[in-house]
Structure 1
Amino acid sequence: MPPHEQPHYSSARKYSLLILFCLAQFLDTFNISALFSAIPTLQHSLNLSLAESTWLISAFNLTFASFLLVSGRISDVYNPKHAFIGGIFSLGMISLGAGFTEEKIPLIILRALCGIAGSMTIPSALSLIVTLFPEPLEQARAIGAFGGCGAVGNVLGLVIGGIFVEFASWHWVFWFVTVVGAPIALICIFLIPPPPRRPDLDALSPSVRFKTLDLVGVSILTAALVLFIFAVTSGSTVGWPTAEVLVPLFVAVLLFVAFFVYETRIPTERAAVPPHTWFYPNFSVLFGAALLPFFWWTTISTIFVTLWQTVYGRSAISSAIHIIPSSVTAFLISFTGPLSHRVSPKYLILLGQLLLITASILLAYADAENKYWSMIFPAFILGSAGAQLTFTHTNVAIFRTTPPSIAGTVGALFNGALQLGSAVGIAAVASIQSSVGAKHPPDSYAGRRAAYWFVVAAVAIEATAVVVFYRVKAERKEGVEELSAKEGPEELGLGSAKDSVTVSVWGKDEKAKRGTPNKEATEDSRNAST
């Protein structure tokens, strides 16, 4: 196939694959939320302490977030098809073993391994979506649906987990992942097409291609993330002013600095996260906005499931059902992706953040069981709409501002921000709730109210950053095609060339002389700017 021709796939094949990718996204978020409903039963069955039960959740979060960048680099440098199939199959098999485990330490270890397997699926799925749906409007719809299924899994997991705990056993929370994940891997072996030709990578020898994985940089960043998430997670259970928290936190900060220094000292095409990545139009502020959605959903799930079961005496399934409106709303809002072609993502993200602030204020005053319909229900609707608007349009905008050739790395960074926001945010919320609640009776709502005011402050700070730093003009005038045509391959991490540039434009390979792009590339750039 000539390099300038875009591969054509049938609609049935593309949308069948999108459904499978969405199911994989659903499983990754299900893996976290379903355990919230099962935690009380697991504590009793396995004799888990509060800290140990926290690590059942955190072990998955920690490894998932930490290994996303490795997965993203593998998807960009090698074959995203292999990364996706290997990840989803491993997730199913490890979950099968977790379902048969009756000891707490092996179960925590298997949860950590599930996080690694899960991290292989998301960047590779996003990379495949960008390839399968190169047309911008269609791509926005696909990415929106993909993100919506993550939101659904985040909330619907509570319901499914509650059903399993109520009518079967906690083991089915893990076996469900196997039942869904294994067939996905099998089908994708035959359904995912081979990746488009990448002249910039195909010309590299195996040893040079291996070096582009940047294992040193990835290892430094992975270690920093592991220690950072470990510190903030431990802070909510053992207390912040302790050596167990402060030492790993201090080392993590040093490793973050070391990572960014190291990335500036190596050739750009070999860097895991080239420094220029943060300077794509609006990339940094979009990364910051991505910290919020999972943070909000995890906060409401943690606070209300615990409140309803331990204080109000509701069953696991009853608590989960009361959160269903949040899931339904998120799924419906996920289809607003194409709106970003009529309205700037900046204003859609700001609307989402405004809804999050409103919902969090309502929840701060939802201090009685009889306030579900007057306070909690509208807050769930508004908050989930806001979180999903933020999620969807941050997701669409961040891929619009970066070249498709680094879609795996961008997907890893975006999803890493989601997980990092969830892990750090929930640790802060738990710490605030615990410290304030200690000064009041056990059934007091004071700690939870303080936690929601913290959420209001966090969202307000991020909204201010979007207002100040998000540049609509840059978004309109510097689309990914134009930016790719302007920059050489060294800047884009695509290898080197003396007098020609090979860039990927929405799934197409285009060649342009430096400073004198050909007519076809110029037309694409003008269309993108328009």
Structure 2
Amino acid sequence: MQVDDEPKTLQSPTRKLVLLVIFCLAQFLDGVNNSSLLSALPALDDSMDMTSSQSTWVISAFQLTFASFLLISGRISDVYNPKTAFIGGVFGICVISICSGFVNDKIPIIICRALCGIASAMTIPSALSLIVNVFPDPLQQAKAIGVFGGCGAVAGVFGLLIGAMFVEWVSYHWVFWFSAIVAAPVALAGVFLIPPPQVAETADSLEPTAAKWKSLDLVGIGILTIAIILFIFAVTSGSTDSWASAMVLAPLIISILMMVAFFYWETLIPVENAAIPPRTWFYNNFSVLVVVGLLPYFWWFAVATIFNTLWQDIFQWSVISSAIHIVPICVTGFAMSFTGSLSRKFSPKWIILTGLSLCMVATMLLVFHGGSPDDYWPYVFPAFAIGSSGAMLIFTHGSIAIFQAVPSSMAGTVGAIFNSALQFGSAIGIAVTTSIETSVEATHGGPQEYAGRAAAFWFLAAIVAVQFISISVFYDRSTDHKPQPKHGEHGYPARLSTEPKEKHDDDGKVIVAMSASPQLEV
């Protein structure tokens, strides 16, 4: 039985559109949850008497658990029912956000943020898996993934504006309650509108529960999850503590060793039970596209964080004024999310290279920014518009290309890997740029001078250049616009199945019997 050869459940165009809106709202929620509190941190600090390092963990706790639990969420979506994972995740965001709005102490709020990250991690791979199934046509799928990705990327920056408005005009509590207000109808609509899994659509429905449980690869996922938690903890702590401290070096070294142990473990277990079969990385362009995924969130959040701090702390702009000046990132970025159809006309390689070129131009404008409020229109505004457009092209067409590189039944896991790359890029990039900015400011006039921020943007420009070279050299165009690979191709594991097998008795009559143990099929 071939999952990719099975007919998909036909949905009306209207229902497909409504479903896409539901999935995009979940993506929007995750982006807002990740960024809206940046504007609310000063109010949280005053209300809960937190230090700057403690308030950092209000943001980091969400990013830490979100990135760490993406892979297990992807495996659950692929092995079990993505509808259940999606609705459960959105409902979890609703409940946790309501509770967070009533919390007035620093430890409980950090715990709530960590739990919200886990719930959010359940929504992304499952939503991507559902999109791939609802939109089997390559052109429609490319457009849908593009819009879905655009909503998440833009929401990450748009959340700054939402948080600023609530802090300025109401209170920071409404930053949490806003998420609950959006999540509740999304979860309810998902219950009634998302189609149930069809037996004809998945071979997993024929697998015994024990086989599905083994397919989760809980040992491998557990090793990798702990490694990711320790790694992000280390790089996040490095921006506030010394990089040479034991609190940074110990978890960093342990996380690297555990990642090595994970990949070794994946070579020891049966390939059909591996969370990420080793040969997955050898699908055409898969590895280079994962590397590309490190850049978009890094660019958006580094730029937004640096200028948000500059405008509020140095220029003394209000929270709402700072957020409004970041709006060009939202508008131009979202506009580029509708370019998904270009991937069917042009090679994703050239589109991604175009995006990287735009990011380079924008980053160089920010390097030569004079550090004055008067430089917003000649330098910052065009840099925001050009760079955000480029980052969205990279994000959208990197997403489309990576889903076309692997079997559709692997959508949940692939979505988890790509989104983990996005979070890794953001966490690591912001930690490094913050360290560069701080160290340069210590010897070049302090935060009042622009030298530290210019150095951070030079580092960002170097990353963009490395990405440009990697795509130019390693991206293979030979499989552009070709059908997605099937199970058993390019080393992807065959499915477990308990299909009825034909047997013949001595008279030649056919006896149909269920096989006693799972059989491999290609």
- Which residue number corresponds to residue 190 of structure 1? 192
- In the TM superposition, residue 63 of structure 1 has moved relative to its aligned partner by 0.4
Q: Distance in 2 between matches of 1:364 and 1:393?
A: 27
- Which residue number corresponds to residue 492 of structure 1? 493
8 Å contact from structure 1 (residues 36, 305) kept in 2: no
**1:83-102 aligned within 5 A:** 83-102=85-104
- In the TM superposition, residue 202 of structure 1 has moved relative to its aligned partner by 2.3
Q: Distance in 1 between matches of 2:308 and 2:352?
A: 28
Residue type of the partner of 2:354? Answer: L
Q: Distance in 2 between matches of 1:121 and 1:90?
A: 10
- Which residue number corresponds to residue 331 of structure 2? 328
Q: Distance in 2 between matches of 1:158 and 1:69?
A: 27
- Which residue number corresponds to residue 402 of structure 2? 398
Residue-by-residue CA offset, 1:496-527 (whole Å, 9 max, x unaligned): 799x9xxxxxxxxxxxx97xxxxxxxxxxxxx
In structure 2, the gaps of 5 or more residues are 502-520
8 Å contact from structure 1 (residues 286, 398) kept in 2: yes
Q: TM-score, normalised on structure 1?
A: 0.91
Give SS of 1:402's match. coil
**1:197-346 aligned within 5 A:** 197=199, 198-346=201-349
**1:68-217 aligned within 5 A:** 68-197=70-199, 198-217=201-220
Equivalent pairs, count: 496
- Which residue number corresponds to residue 444 of structure 1? 449
- Which residue number corresponds to residue 413 of structure 2? 409
Q: Distance in 1 between matches of 2:377 and 2:193?
A: 46
- In the TM superposition, residue 474 of structure 1 has moved relative to its aligned partner by 3.3
RMSD of aligned residue pairs (Cα, Å): 1.7
1:435 and 2:436 aligned: no
- Which residue number corresponds to residue 464 of structure 2? 459
Q: Distance in 2 between matches of 1:18 and 1:202?
A: 25
- In the TM superposition, residue 494 of structure 1 has moved relative to its aligned partner by 2.1
8 Å contact from structure 1 (residues 35, 173) kept in 2: yes
8 Å contact from structure 2 (residues 312, 319) kept in 1: yes
- Which residue number corresponds to residue 347 of structure 1? 350
Residue type of the partner of 1:249? Answer: L
8 Å contact from structure 2 (residues 349, 471) kept in 1: yes
Q: Percent identity?
A: 55
Q: Distance in 2 between matches of 1:88 and 1:36?
A: 22
Give SS of 1:438's match. helix
Residue-by-residue CA offset, 1:255-287 (whole Å, 9 max, x unaligned): 000000000111111011111111110000000
- In the TM superposition, residue 199 of structure 1 has moved relative to its aligned partner by 5.0
Q: Distance in 1 between matches of 2:92 and 2:220?
A: 25
Q: Distance in 2 between matches of 1:394 and 1:497?
A: 36
Q: Distance in 1 between matches of 2:196 and 2:88?
A: 15
Q: Distance in 1 between matches of 2:262 and 2:410?
A: 19
Q: Distance in 2 between matches of 1:131 and 1:203?
A: 18
Residue type of the partner of 1:70? Answer: I
Q: TM-score, normalised on structure 2?
A: 0.92
Residue type of the partner of 1:129? Answer: I
Q: Distance in 2 between matches of 1:350 and 1:69?
A: 28
Q: Distance in 1 between matches of 2:215 and 2:47?
A: 47
Give SS of 1:495's match. strand
- Which residue number corresponds to residue 385 of structure 1? 389
Alignment partner of 2:48 out of 35, 46, 49 = 46
Q: Distance in 2 between matches of 1:486 and 1:32?
A: 38
Q: Distance in 1 between matches of 2:154 and 2:63?
A: 18
Q: Distance in 1 between matches of 2:22 and 2:90?
A: 10
**Cα distance change of structure 1 residues 46 and 486 upon mapping to structure 2, 3 Å threshold:** closer
- Which residue number corresponds to residue 422 of structure 1? 426
In structure 1, the gaps of 5 or more residues are 501-512, 515-530
